[in-house]
Amino acid sequence: MHLLFFLLSAFGNYTPPVTIHVLVALCDNKYQGIVPVPAAIGNGQDPANNLYWGCGYGVKTFLKKQPDWQLVKQLKQPAPYIHERLIFKHRTQNVHLVADAYDGARMPETITRFLQYAAGQEPVYIPLDKDTIRAGGNARLICFVGHNGLMDAALPAYPAKANDRPRDVAIFACASKQYFTAPIRKTGANPLMWTTHLMSPEAYTLDAMIDSWLLKEQPAVTHRKVAAAYDKYQHCGLKGAGRLFVTGW
C-alpha cells in the first residue's frame, strides 16, 4: 500500500489528506506531578473516564460532539503505551485527525514521541479505506495535550529536525513555552500555540485552534479564538486568557 501511495503521489494522481496528530497524556494522580484530581478521573490507565480523554471536555468526548468531525475508526492498543487511537475525518475538507491516548505513567515516552513527530521523525502510516493516513512525523500539525512532564524531569536528549517539510505544533500544557522552547527549536517546527502559565488542557482550546488553522487564518486571529474559547469555559477574563496563550517565538 505504501508503494502505491508513493507512486500515485509522484505522478500527481493522488493528493494525500492533510493530517493532524494529537497526543494526549492521560491525567494521572500517581505518576504525574499534578494537583490531584478526583481518583475516578485521574487514573492514567483508564482512558474511558480520564479527565483529558473520556470526560466531557476530554479530547475524545469533545471532538465526537463537534459537527465538523466524523469519527471513522477507533483502535485499542494500536502501539506501545497508547491505550486508544481515534481517527476523525473532516466533513468538508480532506483532513484527518488522529488522536492518541497515552498511558499517564509514560510521560517521558509521550513527550519524546511528540518531539520526534515535531522533528519529522517516526512517520506513522494508517490504512483507512482507500486512503493511507500519513501521521506521526508526516503530520502537518502535531499537538500535545496534558500535564507538562518537563516540569517534573527533563529528557536526556531531544530529537533534531529530520527534514524541511513544514510542521506546526501546539502544546496545551502548563507553562509550555518556558519548558518547550529549546526542544521545539531543535525540531525545526513552528510553534502555533503554547502557554505561559498554569492552565487546564481541556479540548475546547484545541478545537478552536484547529478550526482556525484549517481556515488558514493568521496566528493572531488563531490566538484570539483560542483565548476566547478558554475564557468561555473557564470564565477567567479575555485579557487573562490572552496572556496565557501565545503564538510563535
Quick: pLDDT tens for 175-231: 999 999 999 999 999 999 999 999 999 999 999 999 999 999 999 999 999 999 999
Half-sphere exposure of 38 (CA within 13 A, CB side): 6
- The proportion of the chain whose per-residue pLDDT surpasses 90, expressed as a percent, equals 92
- 130 band by pLDDT with thresholds 50, 70 and 90: confident
Question: What is the bridge-based pairing of β-strands 141-145 and 168-172?
Answer: parallel
Q: How many helices (H) and strands (E) would you count in the chain?
A: 7, 10
- pTM of the model as a whole: 0.94
How many structural domains compose the chain? 1
Q: What is the pLDDT of residue 12?
A: 54
Residues 144-167 as b or e (16 or more Cβ within 10 Å = b): bbbbbbbbeeeeeebbebbeeeeb
Average pLDDT, stretch 88-95? 97
Dihedral of alpha carbons 41, 148, 69, 120, sign: negative
- Reference 159, options 120, 210, 199; nearest CA is 120
pLDDT digit string, tens, across residues 28-83? 999 999 999 999 999 999 999 999 999 999 999 999 999 999 999 999 999 999 99
The answer on pLDDT for 15 being more than 50 is yes
Please report where in the chains the cell 474511558 appears, as a residue.
48
Q: What is the pLDDT of residue 192?
A: 98
Q: What is the pLDDT of residue 88?
A: 98
Q: What is the pLDDT of residue 131?
A: 84
The answer on pLDDT for 9 being more than 80 is no
The answer on pLDDT for 6 being more than 80 is no
Q: How far apart are CA 201 and CA 145, in angstroms?
A: 6
Supply angle C-alpha 89, 90, 96, rounded to 5. 50
Q: How far apart are CA 181 and CA 196, in angstroms?
A: 11
Q: What is the pLDDT of residue 4?
A: 47
- Reference 102, options 166, 169, 39, 24; nearest CA is 24
What range does the domain containing 70 cover?
2-246
Task: Enumerate the H helices of 139-202 as residue ranges.
Answer: 176-187
